[in-house]
Amino acid sequence: MPSHKRSYQPHDDSQNSANAGTLASASESPSSPSHRKRPRVHESERPTSQPDSSRNEDNAPDDNLTGEHGNTPPRTQYEIMRDADWQHLQHEELDDRMATQKVLGRTVQIGSNNAAESGIIESVTCINFMCHERLHVELGPLINFVVGENGSGKSAVLTAITLCLGAKASSTNRGGSLKAFIKEGKDSSLIQVKLKNRGEGAYQPEIYGNAIVVERHFNKTGVSGFKIKNGMGSRTISTTRQTIDDIVEHFCLQVDNPLNILSQDNARQFLNSASGALKYKYFVQGVQLESLDRDYRLIEESLENTDAKLNSHDGHLERLKSNADQAHRLANIVRGNNQMRETLQVIRQKLIWAQVIKMEEATAEENQNLQVQETRVRQLEQQRQASLANIDAIMSRILKFKEDCDQATHEYDVFCEQHAEIEAEFTKVKQTVQSLHQEERMAQSQWQAAREEIRQTMEKIKEEEARLNAATGDARARKQEELDNAKVSLQENMNACNDLRASQPDLYQTLETAKADLNEAESEARSKISQISEVDEEIKRLHRAKGNFLDAFPPNMGRLLSLIEKENSWSSKPVGPVGRFVALKRPEWSSIIEKFLGQTPQAFLVKTKSDMDRLRHLMNTAGVKNCPIIKTFGQTLDLTGKEPDPRYNTILRVLDFDNTMVRDALIINHSIEQVILIKDRTEAESVVFEKKPKNSVGCLCFHDHASKRGSGLLLSSRDGSNFSTSPIDRFNGSPRLRSDSEDQIKHRQEHKQHLSADYEQIQQRVNAARAECQKHSSSIMKIDSEVKTLESNQRRVRNLITDLETELDSFESGDNHLRMLRATLKDYQESEQHHGTQYGALVDRKSKESGIMQQSAGRVKLGRQQKAELEKKIEKAKTKVSTNEDALRVAQTDKINIQETLERANTELDQIREQVVKKNSIALKLEQDALAVTSGRIEMDAGENHENLTAKFKSLQHQLRELESRLGGTPEEIVEREQIAMQKYNEGKNLFQELLLTQKALRRALTERIERWRYFQRHLSARTRVNFSYLLSERGFRGKMIIDHRSKILILQVEPDEHRKNGKGRSTNTLSGGEKSFSSICMLLSIWEAMGSSIRCLDEFDVFMDNVNRAISTNMLITAARRSVSRQYILITPNAIEGRAELDKDVKVIRLTDPRQRQLTSMV
């Protein structure tokens, strides 16, 4: 229920009569913090428009006692009750005397006017508002006069206060919407009001602080909003209109009260041209009588609606009572017949225990079946474990034999490379020995012929010298000495030359070694270039395969898949190729895993032998080769406790599967769940060889040799020993496992970069070997140059010897014959020396090469024997692998069959267990239910069983049903109906009584509130009338205010001439403009005295006054404001404030200048 609104405030603490005391107690002070909020009124019930300022005195009713609506009676029951035949207004004279006493008592002494601690306006700021680009006004806490010329922004201050505190644009009479208040040429506007928020009456001071800043912003597009900030304006607390309403209500600002903030148009209309009915409307709205009346009218309507509902509820209560009586009568009939029900109850109990006994017998039989099936499952499980152990043993042997085969193949390949080199070396040495043998025989015959010629020639010379031994002398001796010295020099030269020639074989051997290193490095470089080309080709294939995944599989795969789709006789459609259903998450392992899986990624999976034969026929039809067919079973493998530690990656963990059958096939055939992946070889060897992880059969790692980049190694150990390392070559085909093609390409590109880096290193080795060859070639060339120099010296010395010998011959009288003999001897000696040296070198070299040939021949023979042994070893290992693979396929088939049988047996076992549990549960539940409705187990009589008990029960039950059909239900239902009917009747009766009591209380409260409303209406009217007369007297006027609540008009009668004692007063229409404005000011102040708002605003109150009336009105406003303690007044006038008002501390005069003048001043 809405609470009443406070619209009247006594202004002194003394009560001069009982009625005055009652008034003071009924009207609580609005300045009290706990009573400052006024009740909320729904938007639809608030005043939606202000009085039309276009109306004038010609259209208004006459200001007399009998207006247009004077004799119109109330139209509703509420108005009749509210007005009570106007009895409360029959004692106006008494009320006026009481109000006069209070007013006169108030004027004896006026205390100091203190500023309110909260609920008043501290400042107003306008940006791009109306015609002002920026307008800021700091207001005083008490009395404010805002003065200035037209256009200076006086009225804009009140308009900004009205709009910023939540009023509608139409209520200002300045525009129909907020867009009309935006300054011309601007797109948006902002107005801000700062409210004081101190003391006990502050609104949420812990949030807002000492002040509340309210901002309202709007733009040309019609968008508007609020911002409520703390006192510093630094933080926005809220942006909702509800918060504005709560703050305005808390401080009781009443911005929607037409008399609280009188705008310029409303002030002119109110002061000069308002009719009696319009003045009355302003009065009842200003003192909140209209708002209270509207709230009470809603309460009355609610009570009337409740009365109508209570009337209909009375008939409903009678129906409930009749139903309860009827149900009670039938229940009494039922209670008189119990013999048949007792017999039926005994049979029901026996029937319940008969069901228990029957279910217990069925449960015992089912337990026997369970034991038999459990025994069968244990036997099958033992067979499955034995099959798994057999498969593990076979796989271990296969792995061992594969390792042995791979190791033997690797050894064979390495040995073949080495043996080819030995064979080539033997062939080369053999050819060299044969060539040397022929050269040796030729050199020997030439050397022996030269020696024979020397012997014969020397004999001839001796004979000739003996004949010519007559002519000798000193000159001959000297020449002979020179000749001997020349011969010695020639021999030394020849020895030096022979030494250099002896060093040449070693240099040539070193050069050959360097050339071999160069050839090896160049071969590796060519191999790297080939590998890079292969990777480039793989990248091209990956780019081409983006649109067609079948390119990675054998030819005609698309045709085979089409034939499989068209075939309709499958017992279960084949799954394949396997690679379509497997996605690789780690592309760096692609090549190694593809090589490890062999042909399985292009295999097909089937479940039956008939499907296998049919698929093989389709493969032959489509021309597809190299695609294995693997038979699987349909149950999914459980890997719980069968995988290595989660910190290790396995092949299974780097693959994603679209089909569980594909996953199980790879697990069965390749143990992918137990092959771990470690990139680094050292780490892999440490893990596998030092402490092999549980549930692991091997480890794949990358090859650490640069020449094997991209390849891998398979590390394995058995029983902590028998370590083995098998190479895994790169897979050079297109990837058959699905993966992100971009990741694959990126991985190949990275691999190409590594190969390119290896090629750069090998190229450095090539360059170094080439430099070494050049170095040794230079050394050989240097020796050859020195040999040529020595040979040139030999020729020079030989020429000298020839000359000396010629001179010696001249001493012998020109014996030409002896000279010719000696020349011939010399030639033969040179030939003998040459052929002898050549023969000796050939003999020595032939001996050495023959020894090398014998050693090489032994190595070739031994190598051929070892090669044959390795070939036998490889063939033997392959035979073992093939034999064990056949055994593995048989074992896997047996395991699949056992697994399928075990799965079926487990399924049957689970079903039997479910039946046992279900029947045990049913038996237990039946027994518990039986014990719940009986006192204990009931033994069956002889011959009683579930069937004949059921027949007896149905017979008695049929008899009871016939009885119940006549009564309209079972006994339980009839008794339950009685309880429900009585409960409904009692509940309805209690509810009706509670509603009656609540309605009476609400009606009593409404009556009390309307009585208080009439009390407010009576004393507020009297107080307003007396205040009006008192204010008139301050200028020497006399007159009175007539408030006719019956006719809803307010009439002012004023007599400006105080000497006309017998004058009744004149209507305001006959007064001058100044007198009329002064009278209206007196009326406004008298109404303000009855209002509870903390701020009061009036625009252009003295526009029609002369200087005398203006001065008196101004001082009157100031005096009245000082009597209204802690109230803030904002009074706007275009004229200057005269008299003492400007000098008082509680009065603040705010002078505004024309914006155009401010612009001119700034320009100057």
Strand partners, 1128: 1095
CB 153, CB 126: distance < 8 Å: yes
Tokens coding 338: 């119990």
| CA 992/CA 314 separation, integer angstroms | 8
- Map 1130-1154 to HEC letters: EEEECCCCCHHHHHCCCEEEEEECC
Question: How many residues appear in the chain?
Answer: 1164
- Listed in sequence order, the residues at least 6 apart from 676 whose beta carbon sits closer than 8 Å to its beta carbon are 644, 648, 649, 650, 687, 693, 696, 698, 699, 700
Which 3 state secondary structure label does DSSP give 295?
helix
CATH number of 118-141+153-260: 3.40.50.300
Strand partners, 603: none
| CA 195/CA 206 separation, integer angstroms | 15
CA distances from 352 to 183, 347, 557, 930, 946 (A): 93, 9, 69, 6, 9
From 399, 405, 393, select the one nearest 892 (Cα to Cα).
393
Q: For residues 377, 380, 382 and 386, what is the CA-based torsion angle, rounded to 10 degrees?
A: -160
Q: What is the pLDDT of residue 253?
A: 83
Q: What is the pLDDT of residue 458?
A: 80
Q: What is the pLDDT of residue 194?
A: 94
Pairing assessment for the beta strands 224-229 and 236-238 based on DSSP bridges: antiparallel
pLDDT tens digit string along 752-764? 777 777 778 888 8
Handedness of CA 369, 375, 378, 380 (dihedral sign): negative
DSSP letters of 478-528? HHHHHHHHHHHHHHHHHHHHHHHHHHHHHHHHHHHHHHHHHHHHHHHHHHH
| CA 663/CA 672 separation, integer angstroms | 9
Q: What is the pLDDT of residue 9?
A: 39
Q: Tell me which H or E stretch contains 137.
A: strand 132-138
Span(s) in the chain for CATH 3.40.50.300: 118-141+153-260
| CA 503/CA 486 separation, integer angstroms | 26
CB 847, CB 432: distance < 8 Å: no
Q: What is the mean pLDDT of the chain?
A: 77
For residue 577, cis peptide bond before it (omega within 30 degrees of 0): yes
Global pTM reads 0.42
| CA 796/CA 800 separation, integer angstroms | 6
Q: What is the pLDDT of residue 336?
A: 59
Tokens coding 204: 């949420």
| CA 651/CA 699 separation, integer angstroms | 10
From 1031, 1040, 1038, 1068, select the one nearest 1055 (Cα to Cα).
1038
- Map 186-242 to HEC letters: CCEEEEEEEEEECCCCCCCHHHHCCEEEEEEEEECCCCEEEEEECCCCCCEEECCHH
Q: What is the pLDDT of residue 219?
A: 92
| CA 299/CA 294 separation, integer angstroms | 9
Q: What is the pLDDT of residue 19?
A: 36
Tokens coding 975: 């008794």
How big is the CA angle at 879 (ends 873 and 884), to the nearest 5 degrees? 130
CB 434, CB 787: distance < 8 Å: no
End-to-end CA distance of the chain: 64
pLDDT tens digit string along 174-191? 777 888 889 998 999 999
**pLDDT, block means (10 residues), the chain with 1164 residues:** 38 36 32 36 37 38 39 67 82 82 64 80 92 91 86 86 86 81 91 92 91 93 91 86 90 78 70 74 82 87 83 78 81 66 76 80 84 88 84 80 79 77 77 75 76 78 65 61 79 78 72 78 77 73 64 84 88 88 85 86 88 89 88 77 88 89 86 89 85 85 75 77 76 74 67 76 82 81 81 80 71 60 76 72 70 73 80 83 80 80 85 84 80 77 78 76 71 80 85 85 89 88 86 81 88 72 58 74 81 80 71 80 82 70 74 67 46
From 213, 257, 244, 218, select the one nearest 231 (Cα to Cα).
213
CB 725, CB 689: distance < 8 Å: no
| CA 703/CA 678 separation, integer angstroms | 11
Q: What is the pLDDT of residue 1136?
A: 66
Tokens coding 528: 């790297």
Tokens coding 789: 């120099």
Which 3 state secondary structure label does DSSP give 26?
helix
DSSP code of 64?
S
Q: How many CA atoms lie within 13 A of 105 on its CB side?
A: 15
Q: What is the pLDDT of residue 815?
A: 56
From 359, 363, 366, 361, select the one nearest 929 (Cα to Cα).
359
CA distances from 754 to 540, 679, 730, 945 (A): 18, 15, 15, 89
Lateral strand order in the sheet of 143-148? 261-262, 1095-1099, 1128-1133, 143-148, 1147-1152
